[in-house]
Amino acid sequence: MEIIIQPDGEAASRIGARLIAGQVRRKPDSVFGLATGRSPVPLYDELARMHRDEGLDFARIRTFNLDEFVALPPEHPASYHAFMKAHLFDRINVPAAGIHIPDGAAPDVEGTCRAYEEEIRACGGIDIQVLGLGSDGHIGFNEPTSSLASRTRIKTLTERTRRDNAAAFGGPERVPHHVLTMGVGTIMESRACLLLAFGRKKAKAVAAAAEGPVTAMVPASVLQMHPRAILLLDEEAASALTRTDYYRWVYDHKPDWQKY
């Protein structure tokens, strides 16, 4: 696990954007797993800027989003379909045929989840999976106690997660109780995982994920087992880590060919 600490979320997101841009330039038909929520917004802003100002070409990429609320139509303003259009897809030249988001309104939930897994495999797997981090350590919507070998499936949200998502719905009572989400096992099959966590309220979860035991009680802790997991943090999110001096020293002394 590589831990990169930056002064703020914007600086950390610029590193993430350079990493993704490098992947696109090396492999124009790359496959990306994408996340929603506040954490990836600065990353998407920087990718949109790179497309606009530097001509970064997304015409051949394929994308798979982590999750979507159940029984929420794509046109709902709080849906992750709407979020991705507003924050990224309408701002870059990704083709509509290359975009994949779980269909939370599908009548056959199990069949939809199986088909999503098959679509990922048919594209050759995910090259870089972008992740946020829940305040209880969840990734995607894999809540604490989720199987670390789980696949795309329906999950019931905790009240804490529903409160965390309340702003988009106008109150916690309006947040759906269920989501479709990539499983932890699905996420772990990505060739690289890029987790973004910003703000002091993520500090406890970051410390548990990076320096605590690997446990289903903190699903993000499984990233310790991934061959290429990169955590991009601001100072506040890193504040509960015990080895911050070491993480900074390692990043500052990377060989030139390893730098992002």
Whether 29 is a known active-site residue: answer no
CA–CA distance, 33 with 187 (Å, rounded to integer)? 8
Catalytic residue among 68, 117, 127, 143: 143
Beta-bridged to residue 234, according to DSSP, are: 6
Q: Name the token pair of 78.
A: 């709080």
Asked if 25 and 129 touch (Cβ cutoff 8 Å), the reply is no
Catalytic residue among 67, 127, 164, 235: 67
Catalytic residue among 68, 138, 164, 226: 138
- DSSP per-residue letters across 135-183: TTS-BTTB-TT--TT--SEEEEPPHHHHHHTHHHHTSGGGS-SEEEE--
CA distances from 60 to 34, 94, 130, 191, 225 (A): 16, 7, 18, 18, 30
Whether 67 is a known active-site residue: answer yes
Whether 143 is a known active-site residue: answer yes
Catalytic residue among 46, 68, 103, 136: 136
Whether 253 is a known active-site residue: answer no
- DSSP per-residue letters across 104-138: TT-S-HHHHHHHHHHHHHHTT--SEEEE---TTS-
- Kindly list the catalytic residues: 67, 136, 138, 143
